[in-house]
Structure 1
Amino acid sequence: MPRSPIAPSKPAPITSQLRIIGGQWRGRKLSFPAVDGLRPTGDRIRETLFNWLAPELAGARCLDVFAGSGALGLEALSRGASYSLLLERDHLAAQSLRNNLQLLKASAGHLVQTDSLHYLRQGNSGEPFNLVFIDPPFALNLWAGVIDALEQGHWLAEDASLYIEMPRNQLIATPPNWRLHRDKQAGQVSYRLYYRQTGQPESTP
């Protein structure tokens, strides 16, 4: 009898690795899928960012708006944040985040698989967040919509810290009560840390 044809096996998903660089999980390597638009914040930028944030991390409630690999939200948990809400739309990236949260036994991390902008526009009825990471896929140009949704939806503590990553030389309008604290560039990436204030200082482009 002729042998039945063997269905070709599905290729294994391509994966990359992320290294947590500080805190209780320092040195742990975590895998994440190679998803279009997923661009983890590099070690050099993360090291600088978390040096900036060091005095603010203990007990902070963090919101990672485009979690991707978890590079920012998981690093914050490793360094003492009390809670990290990770928003991620892509199902492969979200499954990887679930696996890594379980691997790390990170009970203070919570993943929601969702369209981040739609989720934010629903508003927040719970406790606001002290630290927010805004690092969307650059090609989607989501900064303005996310910033507006965060302010309008009661997501932010009065003195929240907000990290934004963007292409070099990108101009982004921020609310008048967001004060630019730090601003650096690495290669073709610009990254900024803002402090939200209750007053009304001049707008920062």
Structure 2
Amino acid sequence: MRVISGEYGGRRLKSLSGDNTRPTTDKVKESIFNMIGPYFDGGIVLDLFAGSGGLAIEAISRGCEHAYCVDKSYAAIKVIQENIAITKEPEKFTLVKKEANSALSQFKASDIQFDYVFLDPPYAKQTIEKQVEWMKEANLLKEQAYVICEVDKAVQLPDELASLTLKRRQTYGGTEIVIYLND
């Protein structure tokens, strides 16, 4: 696993060992960023189920200004910290060790709004529809924000979600990427 492009392009990232996580493959990550960017002029990122932090680091590498990486696992937080250290710009990242819904409540209380939200929850425990609806109601999404969901291809996310518009749906093996726009 590596950073595909941008300022940190080519740097190797660590991933969690074991079967508890499925890091986004380099091929899928590159495709995601080609669909939403591929490069950015600022923007705030939320990686709600960060795992290794690879999506957030890729977004910062391509020009986003700050990323919030959320994960409830101590092991994941440790790997994310190590991967952020590889960037040599830790000030561009905020780590939040919390369960996803608790973190969303914390962000609402802080009046933070996001330009890019990555949702790649454990497939068996995904509640993406409820979380996106809650983010929209809580005003956590900036106008023109992208919400990028990575789900098992058997999961059928709707074409319209919380008044966000479906921009793209793409399948890669057993994974489906669904991209919404808050327009």
- TM-score clears 0.5: yes
Residue of structure 2 in register with 1:111 after alignment: 95
Determine if the alignment matches structure 1 residue 85 to structure 2 residue 68: yes
Structure 2: unaligned runs, 5 residues or longer: none
Distance 1:24 1:32, change over 3 A: same
Structure 1: unaligned runs, 5 residues or longer: 1-17, 198-205
Higher relative contact order (CA 8 A, sep 6+): 2
Q: Secondary structure of the equivalent of 1:154?
A: coil
Whether contact under 8 Å (1:124, 1:154) holds in the other structure is: no
One-letter amino acid matched to 1:178? L
One-letter amino acid matched to 1:37? N
Name the CA distance, whole Å, in 1 between partners of 2:139 and 2:62: 25
Residue of structure 1 in register with 2:9 after alignment: 26
Name the CA distance, whole Å, in 2 between partners of 1:39 and 1:65: 14
Whether contact under 8 Å (1:124, 1:153) holds in the other structure is: no
Whether contact under 8 Å (1:185, 1:191) holds in the other structure is: yes
Q: Compute the displacement of 1:149 (Å).
A: 2.4
Determine if the alignment matches structure 1 residue 75 to structure 2 residue 58: yes
- The structure whose Rg is larger is 1
Name the CA distance, whole Å, in 1 between partners of 2:123 and 2:114: 24
Q: Secondary structure of the equivalent of 1:33?
A: coil
Q: What pairs with 1:123-162 in structure 2 (closer than 5 Å)?
A: 123-162=108-147
Q: Secondary structure of the equivalent of 1:171?
A: coil
Deviates more, 1:70-79 or 1:150-159: 150-159
- TM-score norm. by structure 2 comes to 0.90
Greater percentage in helix: 2
Q: Compute the displacement of 1:42 (Å).
A: 0.9
Q: Secondary structure of the equivalent of 1:81?
A: coil
Q: CA RMSD in A?
A: 1.7
- The count of aligned residue pairs is 180
Whether contact under 8 Å (1:89, 1:114) holds in the other structure is: yes
Distance 1:142 1:37, change over 3 A: farther
Q: Compute the displacement of 1:96 (Å).
A: 1.3
